[in-house]
Structure 1
Amino acid sequence: MADVSSPALDGMYPVGQRPALGPYLVEAWRRRRFAMTLAGHRLIGGLLQNRLGILWLVLRPLSLALIYGTMFSFVLSDAARPSGYAQYIIVGICIFEFFAQSISGGAKSITSNSKLVQSLGFPRILLPISIVIEETMKMIPVIALTFIILFVFGEPPAWSWLLLFPLVAVMAVFNLGCALIAARMSVWARDVQQLIPIMNRVLLYATGIFFDVDGALADHPLLLNIVHVIPTYGFVGVARDVLIDSYSAPAIAWVLAPAWAIVTIAVGVIFFWRAEARYGVVE
């Protein structure tokens, strides 16, 4: 009688077991198309539910920029209001939303797919990965919108604009690390999903999306130094630097942005993998 291959031999493993990290990552890479397909189907399904479809990908950041920009333009002092305010806000909103949506979706990636993780033995890391892939896909029309708005408001197109694409790629790595951490913590306590919007709101203001942090905190050097090491501040600052002619990000932002990505993805992968056996019993 022919031997019946085990799930492990077919690249799968029993639900509730954790393979070694090396084989786990190899198997995740081998099944990368699953994550890409899942992301694509979820993106298309979400767009088809709305009459305006893909337009919502650009209407959301545009409406947020319009609302917040109008509100803050009346209350900001000259020191806290940067030149090219419209460009400043739209770039900040688009980049920050990429992070906020990635970590929010990542936190729910395991708990919202409980039937899938309970029935099949596959690398669960693919679920948070699919979330970040989906959010990265959404950035394509958002980037196009950003370029158009910058041009309309008088920003001369420059070769430096192309640096936004590798920046988004590096930020996607950072977002994935955060999503992995949030996904595991959410399995441990779903209350985390309620805390993430609060954290995102704090970061929204701490990152200086609507005002010039350097000008507002010029008299508070300690607070300013703390803000400079916030990951989202670094990514938003670099994006503004390469897109807005009148803006220059602190030099430390160019160093800390990729550094945060490397550290976060390393911590996130290991942190998520160590609880792999628990995901099969999530309720």
Structure 2
Amino acid sequence: MNGSGNESLAEFAARHGLTQSAARPSLRKYVQELWQRRTFIWNFATAKTASTYSGSQLGQLWQVLTPLLNAGVYYLIFGVLVGTSKGIHNYTAFLITGVFVFTFTQRSLTAGAKAIGGNLSLIRALHFPRASLVFANVLMELQQLLISMVVLVVIVLLTGEMPTLTWLLIPPLLMLQLLFNVGISLAIARLGAFVRDIQQLLPFITRTWLYFSGVFFLIPQMAAKFDHKGYPWVGKILEANPGAVYIELMRSCLIGDVSKFPINHGLLWTYAVLWAVVAFIGGFWYFYRAEERYGRG
């Protein structure tokens, strides 16, 4: 486009200081932009939390009622009919803890899958780090979990448990699970942005994951059964499953030993840290690499 006619439009724009409006910034700048918008992320999450159940008469009570009702159904099916409660101390608190903790991850994944597709008008109208939407969605689920945790503590106390020093480990455990949830939500957000069918498949994926995460049964007890059958590797997979790791650690903090089967708490904490770090770094990098493509088309 110059005198010789050989200069491309992109070269001409670059020579005059023009840059692509949706260009992906450097990783360092991207992280800085996210930090600068931390207030927006928190306020956006709070607003979404307030509006989620605004159309129902019970309002935000459904944040707690939904997992409690699910726990009631699971208790009837697995605790009473199937009999998985045998040999487990305080099965009521055991089950509700599992449901609440897994619901945090499950809902974070579901919200992440819709983070881009559900906010296209905002993405196309304003320039901001798209990861902000995913962070806001997971923080919204964290806010709902914190409300549920208050109810869970009341249930634990009413079922005969007493506060111990292990309760002090709950905040760092929730922080690790938060990092893990953000990481996998960022990864699923990128998939959901370009493969919309993932939103239809996700309920089946998370439901299957739930059944393998020890929500209704004790992982060490199930691992021992597979060990006796000559399949110890199955038990190892169940124990390393991140869904089960955060559940087992939360139960250990709130209830303590729930059965005669020993639990390797040191190994569980190692898994919890590794899953959080790997998921967060990997998910963030995977999402960031497609930053300039979100909202197109």
TM-score for both structures, normalised by structure 2: 0.86
Query: What amino acid maps onto 1:29 in structure 2?
Result: W
The secondary structure found in structure 2 opposite 1:49 is coil
The secondary structure found in structure 2 opposite 1:109 is coil
Q: How far did residue 15 of structure 1 move?
A: 4.2
- Whether the 8 Å CA contact 1:234–1:257 is kept in 2: the answer is yes
The secondary structure found in structure 2 opposite 1:62 is helix
Query: What amino acid maps onto 1:120 in structure 2?
Result: L
Distance 1:45 1:74 in 2: 37
- Say whether residues 1:70 and 2:85 are aligned partners: no
Distance 1:64 1:222 in 2: 31
User: Unaligned 5+ residue runs, structure 1?
Assistant: 1-12
The secondary structure found in structure 1 opposite 2:23 is coil
User: Number of aligned pairs?
Assistant: 270
- Say whether residues 1:118 and 2:132 are aligned partners: no
Distance 2:44 2:84 in 1: 47
In terms of mean alpha carbon deviation, does 210-219 or 232-241 score higher? 210-219
1:145 is matched with 151
Correspondence 1:171-250 to 2 at 5 A: 171-220=177-226, 221-247=232-258, 249-250=263-264
Distance 2:87 2:166 in 1: 24
- Whether the 8 Å CA contact 2:116–2:295 is kept in 1: the answer is no
The secondary structure found in structure 1 opposite 2:294 is helix
- Whether the 8 Å CA contact 1:14–1:121 is kept in 2: the answer is no
Query: What amino acid maps onto 1:138 in structure 2?
Result: Q
Q: How far did residue 77 of structure 1 move?
A: 4.8
Distance 1:246 1:216 in 2: 16
In terms of mean alpha carbon deviation, does 101-110 or 161-170 score higher? 161-170
Distance 1:107 1:203 in 2: 16
2:12 is matched with none
User: Unaligned 5+ residue runs, structure 2?
Assistant: 1-18, 227-231
Distance 1:118 1:268 in 2: 23
- Which residue, 88, 95, 101 being the options, matches 2:101? 95
TM-score for both structures, normalised by structure 1: 0.91
The secondary structure found in structure 2 opposite 1:122 is coil
The secondary structure found in structure 2 opposite 1:280 is coil
Tell which has more relative contact order, 1 or 2 (C-alpha 8 A, sep 6+).
Answer: 1
Distance 1:174 1:55 in 2: 26
Q: How far did residue 250 of structure 1 move?
A: 2.8
| Distance change >3 Å, CA 279–CA 81, structure 1 → 2 | farther
Q: Deviations over 1:183-218 (max 9, x none)?
A: 001112011111211111111110110112322342
Q: Deviations over 1:230-250 (max 9, x none)?
A: 111111110011011333643
Pick the structure with greater CA Rg.
2
Identity of aligned residues (%): 32
Distance 2:141 2:132 in 1: 14
| Distance change >3 Å, CA 266–CA 80, structure 1 → 2 | farther
- Whether the 8 Å CA contact 1:106–1:179 is kept in 2: the answer is yes
2:277 is matched with 262
- Whether the 8 Å CA contact 2:219–2:239 is kept in 1: the answer is no
Correspondence 1:155-174 to 2 at 5 A: 155-174=161-180
Distance 1:23 1:225 in 2: 40
In terms of mean alpha carbon deviation, does 242-251 or 57-66 score higher? 242-251
- Whether the 8 Å CA contact 2:220–2:239 is kept in 1: the answer is no
Q: How far did residue 78 of structure 1 move?
A: 6.4
Give me the CA root mean square deviation.
1.7
